Chains A and B, each alone.
Chain A
Amino acid sequence: DAKTTQPNSMESNEEEPVHLPCNHSTISGTDYIHWYRQLPSQGPEYVIHGLTSNVNNRMASLAIAEDRKSSTLILHRATLRDAAVYYCILRDDSNSGYALNFGKGTSLLVTP
Chain B
Amino acid sequence: GAGVSQTPSNKVTEKGKYVELRCDPISGHTALYWYRQSLGQGPEFLIYFQGTGAADDSGLPNDRFFAVRPEGSVSTLKIQRTERGDSAVYLCASSPTSGHRGDTQYFGPGTRLTVL
What is A's interface to B at a CB cutoff of 8 Å? 30-32, 41-46, 49, 51, 85, 87, 91-93, 95-105
Given contacts A99-B33, A99-B48, A99-B56, contact A44 B102 (CB under 8 A): no
A93 adjacent to B91 (CB under 8 Å): no
Q: Mark B94-113, 1 if CB is under 8 A from A, else 0.
A: 00001111111111111000
Chain B: CB-nearest residue to A31: B101
What is B's interface to A at a CB cutoff of 8 Å? 4, 31, 33, 35, 41-45, 48, 55-56, 58-59, 91, 93, 98-110
* Residues on the B chain within 8 Å of A101, using CB: 45
Cβ-neighbour of A43 out of B41, B48, B93 (below 8 A): B93
Task: Given contact pairs A44-B107, A97-B100, enumerate 16 new A-B contacts (beta carbons under 8 Å).
Answer: A31-B101, A32-B101, A32-B102, A43-B91, A43-B109, A46-B104, A49-B102, A51-B102, A93-B101, A97-B101, A98-B55, A98-B100, A99-B59, A100-B35, A102-B35, A104-B42
A100 adjacent to B109 (CB under 8 Å): no
CA distance A92 to B33 in the complex (A): 17
Given contacts A98-B48, A99-B59, contact A105 B101 (CB under 8 A): no
For the complex of A and B, the 4 pairs showing the least CB-CB separation, nearest first, are A98-B99, A102-B42, A43-B107, A99-B45
CA distance A102 to B107 in the complex (A): 13
* Residues on the B chain within 8 Å of A45, using CB: 107
A100 adjacent to B45 (CB under 8 Å): yes
* Residues on the B chain within 8 Å of A100, using CB: 33, 35, 43, 45, 93, 105
B41 adjacent to A46 (CB under 8 Å): no
CA distance A31 to B100 in the complex (A): 11
